[in-house]
Amino acid sequence: MWYAILSIDRKDSLAARRAARPAHLARLEALRDAGRLRLAGPLPAIDADDPGPAGFVGSLIVAEFASLEAARAWADEDPYIAAGVYARVDIWPFKLALP
């Protein structure tokens, strides 16, 4: 089943986000390579492709997991968690309607 993982950054997390980004992307690339990633990306703090020092307010990932527990276990191992980027991570089942 697909799951939406919505992660909200803690205040002033940009430096930690930048430092942990390569490891974070490597995990997403592994999901992509396994055919289990639908979409992933950061949520800019301002209406711009490159928010600069404004940074990001969070991230959204839609990926396939065997269960909600498996999605939670995967999310809990995110390098952004270890780096203290995220203040909160919410996960919900996701029903793909389009495209």
Instruction: Tell me the mean pLDDT in the region 51-72.
Output: 97
Helix (H) or strand (E) holding 25: helix 14-33
Helix (H, G, I), strand (E, B) or coil at 48: coil
What percentage of the chain has pLDDT greater than the value 70? 100
pLDDT at 44 over 90: yes
**What does the pLDDT read at residue 27?**
98
Mean pLDDT, the chain, integer? 97
Task: Give the pLDDT confidence of 76-92 residue by residue, as tens digits.
Answer: 999 999 999 999 999 99
Question: End-to-end distance of the chain based on CA atoms, in angstroms?
Answer: 16
Say which residue the tokens 């390098």 belong to. Answer: 79
pTM for this prediction: 0.95
